Amino acid sequence: MADHVPAHLIRSLDWFADEPFELASSILSEEQPLVYTLCNPMFGQSWVPTRADIMRRIAGNPALFASKGQSGFAELIGENWSLAPLEVDPPDHAKLRKLISPWFSPASVAKLGEKAKRHASKLVDQFIDKKGCEFKTDFAEHLPVAIFLDLMGWPQDLAPMFRSWSSKLIHSDSARVRAECVRSITNYLRDMIAARRTAPQDDMTSSLVHSQIDGKELSNDELLGLLTLLFLGGLDSVTAALTFQFYHLARYPTLQRRLRARPEDIPKAIEEMLRFNGQSVNSRRATADTEIEGVEIKKGDWISLIWAVANRDGREHQNADVLNIDRANKRHMTFSFGPHFCIGHNLARREIQCAYDQMLTRLPPFRLGNPSTARMHGGITFGIDRLDLRWD
């Protein structure tokens, strides 16, 4: 343990608790501005801010709190590339982000809308004549992968392999399994980079492979970091968000009836559920000794930003632990904050909207089939392991 951490700030936090939002509540109940955990699943130890305003201060200051190395994926296989632009800080961050931002603009996402709608429709086709589905594996794991493959210009028959890699990498507690997944992903992406260098196509992958920064083509490591982040960022987090959204629709029939009758309320329902179920955890590392409200932070210390803590902070939202789609303040940090605000937020919202459009218009009212199987999990991404939906 770091010698500079006072004993009264040390906490044993259960990152993989079955009720991860209880973890957020316990952190929010702290009187201290930050606490220190000895059981961080990525780094072993880290600081954990207990207030939204402190999290904004940290996420908004990349010079003092850097992002490099927060995933640990390259290190798993003994390499030194960075997930870009997530693990790249200014000024290089803006240059890399600029390369991919046009593909995630509202106009570009709108062009993907019809494809997304068709993918969602095909998924519902597979269980519409049944009396239920397991929503996560029948729908939520499939839609983000299909849309990602369309975006990248890759064949849809890669979907099962990508889903397997994503699940194992994010959720396995075995370093060996996670390293094998990283190696499989990077081997595939390196082959794809080489193929697009010699035979470019009309897709995002080719555009990135042949793009330049300051008059220079990107290195293989820079491209690998970009493509790996796009692969990971568009899959597991959207699956988790979709599953949480439909978990609540199944639990609250009054809300479900309202959205069926008034589809114009769906966007604000999506936004409130994104706030209520902030599922991601990001990390920053102090680049110099500093102090936050009397707490001494040393250079090299990791800080874990648990966005569910920010989203459920009662100083930000009245009755923050209540799901209320009519709340006036819709601000949340599910997509992070500051320079590293999620570049794919428009696409994520569009995918969720497509799911609502299909599930609410084509299926009768649905409910939880077996509430006891709808178990949540914590970790670097909060989620639900299984979601059985039933209808008459």
Q: What is the mean pLDDT of the chain?
A: 92
* 287 pLDDT higher than 80: yes
Give the pLDDT confidence score for residue 372 in this predicted structure. Answer: 84
Judge whether residue 15 has pLDDT over 70. yes
- Provide the CA 212 distance to its chain's centre, in angstroms: 28
Q: Which of 247, 238, 239 is nearest to 346 (CA)?
A: 238
How many other C-beta atoms are found inside a 10 Å radius of the C-beta of residue 271? 18
**192 neighbors 83 (Cβ within 8 angstroms):** no
Q: What is the dihedral of CA 298, 60, 50, 314, to 10 degrees?
A: 170
Average pLDDT over residues 2-13: 91
Confidence of residue 266 (pLDDT cuts 50, 70, 90): very high
3-state secondary structure of 388: strand
For residue 293, pLDDT beyond 60: yes
- Is the bond leading into 90 cis (omega within 30 degrees of zero)? no
Q: Looking at the domain that runs over 84-280+317-391, which CATH code has it been given?
A: 1.10.630.10
Which region, left, alpha or beta, applies to residue 258 given φ > 0 means left and ψ of -120 to 50 means alpha?
alpha
H runs (alpha helix) in 64-135: 73-76, 92-100, 106-125, 135
Closest CA to 355 of 193, 145, 166, 121: 121
Predicted local distance difference test score (pLDDT) of residue 165? 85
For 24, the 3-state DSSP assignment is: helix
Q: Are strands 44-49 and 34-40 parallel, antiparallel or unpaired?
A: antiparallel
Q: What residue segments make up the domains of the chain, in order of their start?
A: 84-280+317-391
- Give CB contacts under 8 A, 24+ apart, made by 25-30: 25/312, 25/321, 27/306, 27/309, 28/309, 28/312, 28/313, 28/314
145-197: pLDDT as tens digits? 999 899 888 899 988 988 888 777 777 777 788 889 889 989 999 999 999 99
Confidence at residue 43, expressed as pLDDT on a 0 to 100 scale = 80
pTM of the model: 0.94
Look at residue 273 and tell me whether its pLDDT is greater than 70. Answer: yes
| Residue 1 confidence (pLDDT) | 56
| 225 neighbors 174 (Cβ within 8 angstroms) | no
What is the distance between the alpha carbons of residues 381 and 36, in angstroms, rounded to a whole number?
20
Q: What percent of the chain lies above the pLDDT cut of 70?
A: 99
CA separation (Å) from 241 to 107, 271, 275?
23, 11, 10
- What is the C-alpha separation between 230 and 244, in angstroms, rounded? 22
Alpha-carbon gap, residue 388 to 137, rounded angstroms? 10
- Strand 281-286, strand 132-134: pairing: unpaired
Geometric angle at alpha carbon 120, from 115 and 121, rounded to 5°: 95
Per-residue b or e along 247-269, where b marks 16 or more CB atoms closer than 10 Å to that residue's CB = bbbbeeeebbeebbeeeeebeeb
Task: Tell me what pLDDT residue 314 has.
Answer: 96
325-339 pLDDT tens trace: 999 998 999 999 999
Give the per-residue pLDDT at 17: 77
Q: What is the mean pLDDT of residues 126-142?
A: 96
Q: Which residue has the higher pLDDT, 366 or 90?
A: 366
CA distances from 67 to 75, 115, 132, 292, 381 (A): 15, 34, 42, 18, 17
Least confident of 42-51, 165-174, 301-310: 165-174
Highest mean pLDDT among 180-189, 223-232, 354-363: 354-363
CA 335 – CA 320 distance, rounded (Å): 18
* For the chain, percent of residues with pLDDT exceeding 90: 71
- Indicate the pairing of strand 302-306 with strand 366-368: unpaired
